[in-house]
Amino acid sequence: MPLTRKGCASPPLGEGAYRRFVHFRRAGVAERDGSRVHERWARLRFSIIGTLLAAPPAKGALRAALQQLAAREWRHPSTGAPVRFGVSTLERWLYRARNEQHDPVGVLRRKRRGDAGEQASMTPALRQALLAQYAAHKSGGPSFIMTTWSPWPRPGPRCSRCHPTQQSGDSWLRTV
């Protein structure tokens, strides 16, 4: 039975689209063989450069060996599609694994960013002010908060008839 979207004029989604969607949603967790995506990527990277680690090329032949590896197609660890890597990428993986003493596969895993989970655009004081605004008006949604509250001072009115104390020019930039 095809999946239909209520109120949408687009054609219904087929079963394959739903399976692809579910597969995409689970991509960050365990997949087919029970291993995590980052571990499969680390194993792929190590399998590519492992030959260079096990049998290092002669002096001056490293660039040619990296170019041979870069010319090959490899299987994407999640989709199975063919994928290629550049010489500089392979060189970076090689030196990272070569310089690791204990776990050369682990060093080839995807590194989590140091600022992951943080929102650098909001200072702690701004965050506290926004949380206080939300606590005061829980029934208002995000659009209410955005229209009624701003961390920056609002410009004053520009109309000199309504506010005769303000002159023309850039005086409207000052807060009222």
> Is 159 inside any structural domain?
no
* 104 domain residue, yes or no: yes
Confidence of residue 25 (pLDDT cuts 50, 70, 90): very low
pLDDT winner (highest mean) among 23-32, 88-97, 137-146: 88-97
Residue 63 domain-assigned? yes
What is the extent of the structural domain holding 101?
40-108
Mean pLDDT of the chain: 75
pLDDT confidence bin for 120, thresholds 50/70/90:
confident
The answer to the question of residue 95 being in a domain is yes
Q: Which residues of 12-38 are buried (b: 16+ CB within 10 A; e: fewer)?
A: eeeeeeeeeeeeeeeeeeeeeeeeebe
Would residue 59 count as lying in a domain? yes
Whether the model clears a pTM of 0.95, i.e. scores above it, the answer is no
Which pLDDT belongs to residue 161?
60
In a domain, 10, yes or no: no
Domain count, the chain: 1
Residue 173 lies in a domain: no
Q: Confirm whether 141 is domain-assigned.
A: no
Tell me the pLDDT band of 160, cut-offs 50, 70 and 90. low
The string of DSSP codes covering 61-117 is -HHHHHHHHHHS-EE-TTT--EE---HHHHHHHHHHHHH-SS-TTGGGSPPPPTTTT
